[in-house]
Structure formats: structure tokens, C-alpha cells
Amino acid sequence: MNIEQLLGECRSDDLAHALRELGLPVTGTKPQRIERLVEHHTGGASTSDILGALKSDDLRRAAKALGFEGA
């Protein structure tokens, strides 16, 4: 699993919140929002920064959708 797969399980509104927290533009479709977050990650942002920008309930929901036990 990679960060793009995890972000793919998030709702579009969840991604908008993360983008806003990171000071990035929130406009666009869900795939565009995911791409923007992935580019931010490959541009040097840490995985913990990206995941930390998500609300804990949103991150938990995405992890559960991917089959993580105890999420």
C-alpha cells in the first residue's frame, strides 16, 4: 500500500480538509486533490505531515476500508 491508495479511500471533503491544513489549493475533483497531495508528498512533505492533515476519524475510515484491523 502507498499513500495514494490510502488517499483514494478518503472522501473528497476529507481531502479538501487536508489540503487546507497544508496550505494547498482545495479546488478540483477528487483525483486532482489526491494528485496534489501526492505531489506535495513527493516534493518533500513527510508521510506523517500528509496523514496528520487528515482528521483522525477520516484517516480511521480510510484505513478500515483498506482492511486494517482495529482501525
Q: Contact, 12 vs 20, CB < 8 A?
A: no
Position 57 scores a pLDDT of 96
pTM passes above 0.85: yes
Distance of CA 17 to the CA centre of its chain: 9
Domains of the chain by residue range:
3-65
Q: Which residue has the cell 513527510?
A: 46
Burial of 57 (0-12, 13-18, 19+ CB in 10 A): exposed
Position 71 scores a pLDDT of 58
- C-alpha to C-alpha distance for 58 and 21, rounded to whole angstroms: 14
- C-alpha to C-alpha distance for 68 and 24, rounded to whole angstroms: 28
Position 69 scores a pLDDT of 78
Position 70 scores a pLDDT of 73
pLDDT per residue, tens digit, the chain (71 aa), is 799 999 999 999 999 999 999 999 999 999 999 999 999 999 999 999 999 999 999 999 999 999 987 75
